[in-house]
Amino acid sequence: MTTTPDPMCDHRQLIVVANRLPVRNVSDRNGQHWVSSPGGLVSALAPVMTSRPRASWVGWSGSAGRAPDPFVHDDISLHPVELSRADVQLYYEGFSNGTLWPLYHDAIAEPAYHRTWWDAYLKVNRRFADSVIEIAEPGATVWVHDYQLQLVPGMLRAALPDLHIGFFLHTPWPARELFLRLPWREQVVRGLLGASLIGFQTDVMAHNFRHVVPRLVDGAVIDFDDQTVSAAGRSTVCKRHPIGIDVERFAEAAAEPDTAAAVEALREQLHRPRMVLLGVDRLDYTKGIAQRLRAYGELLDEDRISADDTVMIQIAEPSRTNVNGYADIRAEVEQLVGEINGKYGTMDGPAVHYLHRSHDFQELIALYRLADVMLVTPFRDGMNLVAKEYVATRYDDTGVLVLSEFAGAVHELEQAVQVNPYDTDGLKVAIERAVRMGSDEQSRRMAAMRSIVAESTAHTWAETFITELESE
């Protein structure tokens, strides 16, 4: 496949298909209105879409019930897809987050395989595909995103074979033996093969997908050199396209005087500890938060670090609160925080500052700048953009990133202190090493990681993917 830019591509209709629209409805003193949603996907795609004269985004508004009429926001035509309360429960909370999410994250939690969930997933994917078919022009470029919509490419290919269809998986793709547990495995794979280009976060994930196809599709042929799978007379490129972040936005915000003032105020509130450790995660059983807290608590117990001059901040943003397993992980995390603070908290403050709420962009930037050690230790992650965000804010090349071997980001950020998050003793060693790392080593490692993050931005990711897709 060539990647030579086609001069007609900028005039081709671009349709992005994702579970959620890039906006959310808010109520304030000005009434109800739409505002842009935060998040890496929105910031990555907005510049590309606004450069296209007929760009559209198909997705759910976030509210169950009748979908709003199509509307335009920030020069992008938005086409809401209707989801009923039953759809949210069965398609989203059920099959997407009760079946696929745990399965794709190495079955850390046991996936559930309910036929009613699958029926809803099939129905909702058809509804998304129909919404695209209704607005697609001949030869349009359609980019479908993530595990909630894996059947859409095949549905679109069957209805409109002239479309340029791409798919990107933001989560991991599991090893073959895990994926084969899925009762509807063949339908999912055939749905994905409707795309001409499938992007994965790492080479390993792309290999895992290519490796499973011949097991499920008769006559499928893999070309490992071209990274293609050929089946039913078509070829699909299945390769690594790692997502980046808006580096300039994070770097500029980190260097603002207001950020420096906010960092100074935070450090004063914490009574000026010598060392600040930070974790920023969604409250999710894949993130390894409890294991991280246990390691920190044991380091304090063993007097390898001291609560007198070290403090840990753990942000755990609420996430999918209606999905099975999330109440359990919240209870476990809060119990561990209470135990550590019961032993090591003082009148001046706790040993662990635990915040179960969302934070706005400026707050996160200040926390990234405050942190001497960033702990990114998920059990499994497609990429983990928090790691890249932290690196982008370290304009002075200070700070240490402790990074899980099982996060996609580790394949790019090789200068991080790498750790097996299942190994509590190894995690303790990694944290202790990060706390004691000298400034010269910090600078060398961080400079190398900043260079890598700067080369592979969110905008570069989007442009590269679309260019390759449209050049098929």
3-state secondary structure of 20: strand
Nearest Cα residue to 55 out of 8, 12, 14, 23:
14
Largest Cα–Cα separation, the chain: 71
CA distance 93 to 85: 10
Q: Is the dihedral of CA 157, 160, 165, 167 positive or negative?
A: negative
For every residue of 39-107, DSSP letters joined together read: SHHHHHHHHHHHTSTT-EEEEE-SSSBSPPPPEEETTEEEEEE-B-HHHIIIIIIIIIIIIIHHHHTTT
Can you read off the two tokens belonging to residue 178?
A: 């895990």
Can you read off the two tokens belonging to residue 211?
A: 């490796």
3-state secondary structure of 7: coil
Q: Is the dihedral of CA 180, 186, 187, 191 positive or negative?
A: positive
CA distance 20 to 79: 10
> Which single residue is written with the structure tokens 């001291």?
306
Q: Active site residue: 87, 241, 381, 459, which one?
A: 381
* C-alpha R_g of the chain: 23
Q: Active site residue: 79, 170, 207, 353, which one?
A: 170
Main-chain phi, psi angles of 422, to 5 degrees = -80, -15
From residue 339, alpha-carbon distances to 218, 376, 428 in Å are: 55, 22, 18
Is position 73 annotated as part of the catalytic site?
no
For every residue of 186-231, DSSP letters joined together read: HHHHHHHTTSSEEEESSHHHHHHHHHHHHHHSTT-EEETTTTEEEE
From residue 220, alpha-carbon distances to 181, 211, 225, 234, 448 in Å are: 20, 10, 16, 10, 41
Residues with a known catalytic role:
170, 381
